Amino acid sequence: MTTVNDYINTNHEKLDLYTTAITRAHGKNHPEAFDVRELYTQVEVKVKAAGADKPNLDSEFEKLREVTNNYTIPKDVCGTYEAVYKSLEEADKLYSA
């Protein structure tokens, strides 16, 4: 079974690039993109610090669900934005499993 640690470690390059990209492309119309970027960064730091242990990401995923309206993809965004939300939602599900 894939853990949240495995998922974040496997997808960190893509998520790092994509979360930065959505702030540049959509930050003006979607200021929550900056919150998503910051929260993702916090998740990544905690996962790396935890090593093989499960990090405590309750607060980060709770805030992500709040700022993304439970990962609801806005209608006026690109595929990269959609990919970020879907990836973070998957990480959230793995964490909660």
pTM confidence score: 0.95
The fraction of the chain above a pLDDT of 90, given in percent, is 97
Helix ranges, 27-56 (H): 32-50
1 — pLDDT class (breaks 50, 70, 90): confident
Domain boundaries, the chain: 4-96
Q: Dihedral sign, CA of 63, 14, 41, 90?
A: positive
DSSP type of residue 53: S
Residue 54 has pLDDT above 80, yes or no: yes
Using the predicted structure, report yes or no on whether residue 2 has a pLDDT greater than 90: no
